[in-house]
């Protein structure tokens, strides 16, 4: 367990440093672009992004974990699988381009069609990057991956800002996702060049059964996280979608980056213990104990910081996004708690159970969003999203308990004290917000100071022992220069 802990801390340090430096870069770039572009522009790109995920992320997220999980792949297998990904990239890009006119006609938007065609480059390069990137993860080269991601994001962020002020308009929003997929492939391939070989059925079969359920899970996961955007864009307009998407993006920044810090590190490490279910369950409980110490407080803090964050970053034209962000922030805690679940399911070779749990969440989310849009109440959409994310956590937790032959209450008991601490914080921040009045800057500063003071009290009274030990571990690692 000590070796796992040290490897985990090392991986999280480098991955986390990259991701959260990337968060600040992303926020800075988005803040500039949001003042130069309109909610309508962001709404169009939000729709296009969903379809890109369907065509590329489903495949990449399906094959990469399978390559990491399988310890028996020889060089001849990797060359065969690599060649297979190039064939998939050609076929998927072709199918995607054939679908573009249909999508553009459905939304009755010619600009969307142009945006989607440019995104075709992202589909191709994302798929051919599967094997080089998976091998970097499998080799636990977290430091290199962190440097790669940060450099690419920094360079493309600067390019996006320059081009938007040179009149690129909505197309400035495409530089990061499209350029990023190309540059990441180039760097990954240069660091870990993978040869090509004849596509052998036996080689592909070694990862196929694992990949099928993983791809189904990824498709359903993308579906329940994006069905709201597709339906809002069609039936409530791209302006409303722009407000919703910007709130959702901001809410997802801590979530995506916690998940993308934990998942790439945790899965390669825990896959070594795939046959030791007691070990995996104990590791999962430790992750939940750690994350519950801050995730519920994060939800409460974001709720009261909504106006401060939106107006400070994006300006007055984004004021209608504030109530959407407030509502969505209440789901942050449950989504953060789900961050380690995917790695545990994958490490336990329980991809089928993960897929089935996600299917239930997808069906609930689709039904709820359709109901909200049918009623024509825009703010009902984020309310539905929060409720379904709560139910989704319960569904996944119940499935995981069955896999390990344990009881969910073991996990719920770990969470309960920290739910109570967050509940105490809520009226405190309500009072601070009420007293500080309508000045969003002053109000935001006072809320932040209040949260920091509250966290200091919890740390000092040893109410956050896992966080304390984790921070000490990181500090010791930095002193050793690791």
Give the DSSP H or E segment for 298: helix 277-314
Asked if 44 and 115 count as a contact pair (C-beta separation under 8 A), the reply is yes
The Cα-based distances of 405 to 23, 166, 170, 344, 365 in angstroms read 38, 60, 51, 14, 28
The angle at the Cα of 22, spanning 17 to 23, to the nearest 5 degrees, equals: 105
Q: What is the 3-state secondary structure (H, E, C) of 97-157?
A: HHHHHHHHHHHCCHHHHHHHHHHHHHHHHHHHCHHHHHHHHHCCCHHHHHHHHHHHHHHHH
The Cα-based distances of 400 to 71, 83, 118, 257, 342 in angstroms read 24, 35, 40, 23, 10
Asked if 397 and 338 count as a contact pair (C-beta separation under 8 A), the reply is no
The per-residue pLDDT for 416 is: 93
Query: Look-up: residue for tokens 């920044």?
Result: 253
Q: Cα–Cα distance between 333 and 76 in angstroms, integer?
A: 44
Q: Cα–Cα distance between 280 and 273 in angstroms, integer?
A: 7
Q: CB-based contacts of 4: which residues, under 8 Å, 6+ apart?
A: 269, 270, 273, 283
Asked if 195 and 131 count as a contact pair (C-beta separation under 8 A), the reply is no
Q: Cα–Cα distance between 99 and 102 in angstroms, integer?
A: 5
Closest CA to 88 of 176, 204, 187, 213: 204
Q: CB-based contacts of 225: which residues, under 8 Å, 6+ apart?
A: none
The per-residue pLDDT for 474 is: 61
Closest CA to 365 of 383, 382, 385: 385
Other CB atoms within 10 Å distance of the CB of residue 275: 9
| Residue 378 DSSP SS3 | coil
Tokens (6 digits) for 119: 């995104």
| Residue 205 DSSP SS3 | helix
The per-residue pLDDT for 251 is: 79
Q: Cα–Cα distance between 396 and 306 in angstroms, integer?
A: 29
Query: Look-up: residue for tokens 């801390």?
Result: 9
The angle at the Cα of 274, spanning 269 to 277, to the nearest 5 degrees, equals: 115
The Cα-based distances of 80 to 55, 137, 201, 268 in angstroms read 22, 19, 9, 22
Q: pLDDT digit of tens for each residue in the chain (482 aa)?
A: 445 555 555 555 555 565 666 667 777 888 888 888 888 888 888 888 888 877 776 667 667 777 777 777 778 888 888 888 889 899 989 999 999 999 999 888 889 999 999 999 988 998 888 888 888 877 777 778 777 888 888 899 899 999 988 888 888 989 988 998 899 889 888 887 877 778 777 777 777 766 677 777 777 888 888 888 888 988 888 888 888 988 888 877 766 655 555 555 566 667 677 778 888 888 888 888 888 888 899 999 999 999 999 988 888 888 889 999 999 999 988 888 887 787 788 778 887 888 889 899 999 999 999 999 999 889 999 999 999 999 999 999 999 899 998 998 999 999 999 999 999 999 999 999 999 877 889 999 999 999 999 999 998 888 888 877 777 766 665 566 54
Q: What is the 3-state secondary structure (H, E, C) of 60-103?
A: HHHHHHHHHHCCCCCHHHHHHHHHHHHHHHHHHHHHHHHHHHHH
Asked if 430 and 303 count as a contact pair (C-beta separation under 8 A), the reply is no
Segment 105-111 long-range contacts (CB within 8 Å, at least 24 positions apart): 106/234, 107/47, 107/233, 107/234, 109/44, 109/238, 111/44, 111/170
Against a cut of 0.85, is the pTM above it? no
């Amino acid at each position: 367990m000590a070796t796992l802990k040290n490897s985990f801390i090392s991986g999280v340090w480098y991955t986390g440093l990259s991701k959260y430096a990337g968060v600040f870069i992303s926020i800075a770039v988005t803040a500039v672009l949001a003042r130069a572009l309109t909610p309508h522009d962001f709404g169009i790109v939000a729709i296009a992004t969903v379809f890109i995920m369907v065509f590329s992320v489903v495949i990449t997220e399906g094959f990469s974990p399978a390559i990491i999980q399988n310890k028996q792949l020889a060089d001849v297998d990797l060359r065969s699988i690599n060649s297979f990904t190039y064939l998939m990239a050609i076929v998927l890009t072709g199918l995607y381009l054939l679908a573009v006119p249909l999508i553009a006609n459905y939304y009755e938007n010619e600009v969307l069609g142009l945006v989607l065609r440019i995104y075709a480059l992202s589909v191709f390069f994302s798929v051919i990057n599967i094997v080089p990137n998976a091998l970097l993860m499998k080799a636990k080269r977290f430091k290199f991956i962190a440097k790669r991601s940060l450099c690419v994001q920094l360079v493309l962020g600067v390019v996006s800002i320059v081009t938007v002020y040179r009149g690129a308009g909505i197309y400035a929003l495409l530089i990061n996702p499209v350029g990023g997929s190309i540059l990441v492939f180039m760097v990954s391939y240069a660091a870990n060049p993978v040869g090509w070989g004849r596509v052998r059925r036996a080689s592909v079969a070694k990862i196929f059964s694992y990949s099928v359920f993983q791809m189904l899970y990824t498709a359903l996961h993308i579906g329940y996280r994006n069905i709201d955007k597709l339906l809002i864009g069609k039936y409530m307009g791209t302006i409303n979608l722009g407000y919703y998407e910007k709130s959702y993006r901001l809410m997802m920044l801590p979530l995506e980056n916690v998940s993308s810090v934990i998942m790439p590190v945790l899965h390669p490490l825990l896959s070594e213990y795939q046959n030791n279910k007691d070990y995996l369950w104990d590791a999962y409980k430790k992750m939940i104990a750690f994350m519950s110490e801050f995730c519920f407080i994060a939800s409460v803090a974001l709720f009261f910081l909504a106006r401060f964050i939106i107006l400070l970053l994006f300006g007055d034209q984004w004021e209608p996004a504030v109530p959407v962000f407030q509502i969505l922030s209440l789901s942050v805690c449950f989504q953060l708690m789900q961050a380690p679940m995917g790695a545990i399911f994958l490490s336990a070779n329980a991809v089928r159970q993960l897929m089935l749990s996600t299917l239930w969440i997808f069906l609930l989310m689709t039904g709820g969003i359709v109901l909200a849009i049918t009623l024509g109440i825009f703010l009902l959409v984020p309310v539905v999203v929060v409720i379904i994310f709560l139910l989704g956590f319960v569904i996944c937790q119940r499935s995981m308990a069955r896999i390990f032959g344990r009881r969910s209450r073991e996990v719920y008991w770990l969470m309960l004290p920290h739910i109570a601490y967050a509940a105490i914080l809520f009226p405190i921040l309500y009072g601070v917000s009420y007293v500080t009045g309508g000045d969003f800057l002053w109000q935001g500063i006072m809320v932040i100071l209040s949260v920091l003071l509250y966290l200091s009290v919890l740390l000092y009274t040893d109410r956050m022992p896992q966080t304390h030990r984790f921070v000490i571990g990181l500090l010791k690692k930095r002193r050793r220069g690791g």
